[in-house]
Structure 1
């Protein structure tokens, strides 16, 4: 382990050297602003997990320094990795560069091999989930990203040309701050909330949980558990319950058969990442709707983690018609007419994308333009969930449903899962996250520059540092033509004379 710590220290020095060789960071180029004597930040990022860290690094690499990055969680608990994510390993292949942003020394592989060596890397199959969080903690440390933990943005409202962010939490240094741009780097649930089906209404809260809840699995020892769904979160939570000693775990699955193919894996490429956002609406909808309809399967390892238990059951074609709590147990009737009893229900039903649920945006959340407001799919391609995604501008900003009702939404950037319908898988998934961060940084930089163009123009006029000092040349006159003797004309004869 001593060797690993030494090699990690060497890697950290290499990171610093790489950044220095690339002249990073460049000097800050954004003119400072004040509003009624109060400092105005250029960018505030909410979310200090993988997406937020990378967004900050991308903007920093572009010479934007007047920024804040906030996260409501304690240090080391940002994102889902040590909270409601319960898979043993990441789905993504280990060699993907993720948030490295083009720097080999910032990859997970560089960090892992520094600690454990190349032989361990070759032996590694998938990245263990807790280890990914260790890597992100190191990433934050080596880049010195100043995340302010235990700070929550309670409200966003316009104030002149700026946004006023009301802050809360024990880590908040001020009650509010001003910013020009607000980036929502809030992950998978960043533009919605847990999807809670209506059939659990009326059940006591102690007999059911959503997969994103803080579940005490030890309490499920010896209990019957029903898990709704068969996606990754459903399967991971079923495995946790089984490993905690549940008497039985039954997956109740609306689909007729198990999803087995991740269709998006078949088309992943730089071309798709770069080109998706420029496709017409009908093609963007078609790609995403088909992905939703076929459903991304749970990883093979996660599924085997469940099925190796003899008391695990997969019941297909069993949507939920109703649930009721009677005589200390949950009684379930499925859409296929089956009846069963259980002690606890886990909803592996994912998250909704529901901009109106973002309370920090206030009434303006209801003014966000959605896909259903702009596009009507052809018969057979309808999808209510997809219709709830925001219809974003090409720079990740929201559009208004009614022009003039909330124009300040153009200063709010949706850099989370909610952007996927409009711009593709570039703001949350490991494969495309660096490309997305570069895109975001360019767009914010372009907007800030445009807004300050008069200041930049004046700076050009005022710039007076000479490149030449005047001693690099000697001036000479041209002699008058009449004073210079003419040379004799050359003829063919003179050219050939010996």
Structure 2
């Protein structure tokens, strides 16, 4: 019998090439100096900052001054919030950050992606000033075309996405260009308030251990992605976070990790999001013998629903929705989850040592002196030299020691949905229920802490259920910062309304003194 040729199997479609990605481009100092001068001239042309108008607090003295606003956190959100306040003429602002310069936020620390997730055309930190935009910053150094610049980086048209360290350096440039002073090495320690709730008493801790108490009328909590909670550590029967055996072998993706020490090691990663893939890629690029990424889902999320929630109508209008619609929108987005960027997945797939195991949750994690044993469903076990939790951040204000005195009174979304819905969606239920200017609220409006809570503005991921993604995701940043600054300006003005009335009556600058129609005040007649 004549043999038959085997039936050919259909070839998998060829995948598109991954565009050029890089963490940082070369710097062109002289070009940036020229752009700095242009941006400062542009700010002057639009009268930024405008004249300061806020009246000093009545209890402020040279010996015991009162700040108008303290901004805690000088990352992307805190910096942009402070710039927005300056644009509103609120200038008695102090900005602090516990980290050293350049280490504010994730960009130079635990973020391990090559590029930002967002498209390169996003704006935000420039607050609408073209010469302060990332595009202006990049084009000044590398040109606007599709060819390589003299420094070896692609021009703007050829740029795929923004390099992570480029974004960090751009933020620092914006800060310096607009003249925004930041006190690095200063951490927010605790908050209390005056007897009438009209002033916040804020304890700061300096890097040298010195403590300082300042008084402020408003506090902006721009404490980063974990500033409304903490890194999410899964609970496992055999794992204790304070176990010394876990300290060197069990990590969260937000931890400092020495990937270079993992050459030849077997690494397990838990999670299906971007940070899980980023950390897996770093381990692979450091020469790990094998990296296995586990996800409980049967397939990776495929559609980023939050993209549909990033247009200006949504970003501006979401805060005006009723509670039921807000709850419906973000519980849906959270349930759908965000897929990892395709470039990041391909970054891992480029290594033969990478394995993705879908539909495989972890049942237990047990570190010992030689490694980590991961127990899988049905009794299976895997052995690793180290494991990483790429499980993101939880939102639970009970985890924030800085405002521990107030957490029991902070209003949350659990109080605004049914008990069934709160049980069904426990994390959204823990999000703080914020006012129109990002101010926190007391669950009991008559409680003595209510007035003080209204002076604390939460400007980070914890604002999402109330305002949408305006304080953490770049596309909504400018809208969020402007809303925050305008809310603070409004409240400062209303609080001093009678004093502004006195100022209005006392205003006596004559307009017609240079004409023949000038009439002197009656007292001078």
* Counterpart among 366, 377, 380 of residue 335 in structure 1: 377
Cα deviation for residue 116 of structure 1 reads: 1.3
- SS at structure 2 position matched to 1:323: strand
- SS at structure 1 position matched to 2:55: coil
1 or 2, which has the higher helix percentage?
A: 1
Cα deviation for residue 8 of structure 1 reads: 2.1
Once residues 420 and 243 of structure 1 are traced to their aligned partners in structure 2, the CA distance between those partners, rounded to angstroms, is 34
- Please say if 1:74 is aligned against 2:118: no
The residue correspondences of 1:284-295 to structure 2 (distance < 5 A) are 284-295=326-337
- SS at structure 1 position matched to 2:408: helix
Corresponding position of 2:322:
280
Contact 1:28 1:65 in 2 (8 A): yes
1:213-246 Cα shifts (integer Å, max 9, x gaps): 0011122111111101010111100000111111
* Counterpart among 22, 47, 51 of residue 77 in structure 2: 51
- SS at structure 1 position matched to 2:373: strand
Once residues 309 and 474 of structure 2 are traced to their aligned partners in structure 1, the CA distance between those partners, rounded to angstroms, is 15
* Counterpart among 128, 132, 152 of residue 187 in structure 2: 152
1:190-219 Cα shifts (integer Å, max 9, x gaps): 111111111162462221000000011122
Contact 1:97 1:108 in 2 (8 A): yes
After TM superposition, the structure 1 stretch with the greater mean CA deviation from structure 2, 373-382 or 339-348, is 373-382
- Please say if 1:110 is aligned against 2:145: no
* Counterpart among 217, 224, 227 of residue 190 in structure 1: 227
Instruction: Give TM-score scaled by structure 2 length.
Output: 0.87
* Counterpart among 463, 466, 476 of residue 422 in structure 1: 466
- SS at structure 2 position matched to 1:99: coil
Q: Residue 320 and residue 3 in structure 1: after superposition, are their counterparts in 2 closer, same or farther (change >3 A)?
A: closer
- SS at structure 1 position matched to 2:439: coil
Corresponding position of 1:8:
32
- Please say if 1:162 is aligned against 2:186: no
1:280-305 Cα shifts (integer Å, max 9, x gaps): 11211111111111111111111111
Contact 2:125 2:174 in 1 (8 A): no
- Please say if 1:201 is aligned against 2:201: no
- Please say if 1:388 is aligned against 2:430: yes
* Counterpart among 31, 45, 53 of residue 29 in structure 1: 53
Corresponding position of 1:496:
none
Cα deviation for residue 376 of structure 1 reads: 2.0
Pair member with larger Rg? 1
Cα deviation for residue 17 of structure 1 reads: 1.3
Once residues 164 and 227 of structure 2 are traced to their aligned partners in structure 1, the CA distance between those partners, rounded to angstroms, is 20
Q: Give ranges in structure 1 of 5+ residues lacking alignment.
A: 476-498
Corresponding position of 2:16:
none
Once residues 193 and 128 of structure 2 are traced to their aligned partners in structure 1, the CA distance between those partners, rounded to angstroms, is 36
Once residues 210 and 42 of structure 1 are traced to their aligned partners in structure 2, the CA distance between those partners, rounded to angstroms, is 37
Once residues 443 and 515 of structure 2 are traced to their aligned partners in structure 1, the CA distance between those partners, rounded to angstroms, is 63
Cα deviation for residue 402 of structure 1 reads: 2.8
Q: Residue 190 and residue 2 in structure 1: after superposition, are their counterparts in 2 closer, same or farther (change >3 A)?
A: closer
- Please say if 1:263 is aligned against 2:305: yes
Cα deviation for residue 118 of structure 1 reads: 1.3
Once residues 174 and 339 of structure 1 are traced to their aligned partners in structure 2, the CA distance between those partners, rounded to angstroms, is 49
Cα deviation for residue 329 of structure 1 reads: 2.9
Cα deviation for residue 4 of structure 1 reads: 4.0
1:92-113 Cα shifts (integer Å, max 9, x gaps): 1111112110111111000011
* Counterpart among 472, 478, 498 of residue 454 in structure 1: 498
The residue correspondences of 1:239-388 to structure 2 (distance < 5 A) are 239-325=281-367, 328-335=370-377, 337-376=379-418, 382-388=424-430
After TM superposition, the structure 1 stretch with the greater mean CA deviation from structure 2, 165-174 or 195-204, is 165-174
Contact 2:199 2:215 in 1 (8 A): yes
Q: Residue 58 and residue 327 in structure 1: after superposition, are their counterparts in 2 closer, same or farther (change >3 A)?
A: closer
- Please say if 1:137 is aligned against 2:172: yes
- SS at structure 1 position matched to 2:193: strand
Once residues 497 and 380 of structure 2 are traced to their aligned partners in structure 1, the CA distance between those partners, rounded to angstroms, is 67
Cα deviation for residue 88 of structure 1 reads: 0.5
Once residues 186 and 292 of structure 2 are traced to their aligned partners in structure 1, the CA distance between those partners, rounded to angstroms, is 39
Corresponding position of 1:181:
218
Once residues 384 and 129 of structure 1 are traced to their aligned partners in structure 2, the CA distance between those partners, rounded to angstroms, is 32
1:239-284 Cα shifts (integer Å, max 9, x gaps): 0011111111111111111112101113421110111111111211
Q: Residue 419 and residue 193 in structure 1: after superposition, are their counterparts in 2 closer, same or farther (change >3 A)?
A: same
Once residues 27 and 264 of structure 2 are traced to their aligned partners in structure 1, the CA distance between those partners, rounded to angstroms, is 45
- Please say if 1:444 is aligned against 2:481: no
- Please say if 1:210 is aligned against 2:252: yes
Contact 1:194 1:351 in 2 (8 A): yes
Matched length: 475
Q: Residue 41 and residue 25 in structure 1: after superposition, are their counterparts in 2 closer, same or farther (change >3 A)?
A: same
After TM superposition, the structure 1 stretch with the greater mean CA deviation from structure 2, 70-79 or 367-376, is 367-376
After TM superposition, the structure 1 stretch with the greater mean CA deviation from structure 2, 252-261 or 31-40, is 31-40
Contact 2:239 2:367 in 1 (8 A): no
Once residues 471 and 108 of structure 1 are traced to their aligned partners in structure 2, the CA distance between those partners, rounded to angstroms, is 49
Q: Residue 97 and residue 2 in structure 1: after superposition, are their counterparts in 2 closer, same or farther (change >3 A)?
A: closer
Q: Give ranges in structure 2 of 5+ residues lacking alignment.
A: 1-24, 146-154, 520-525
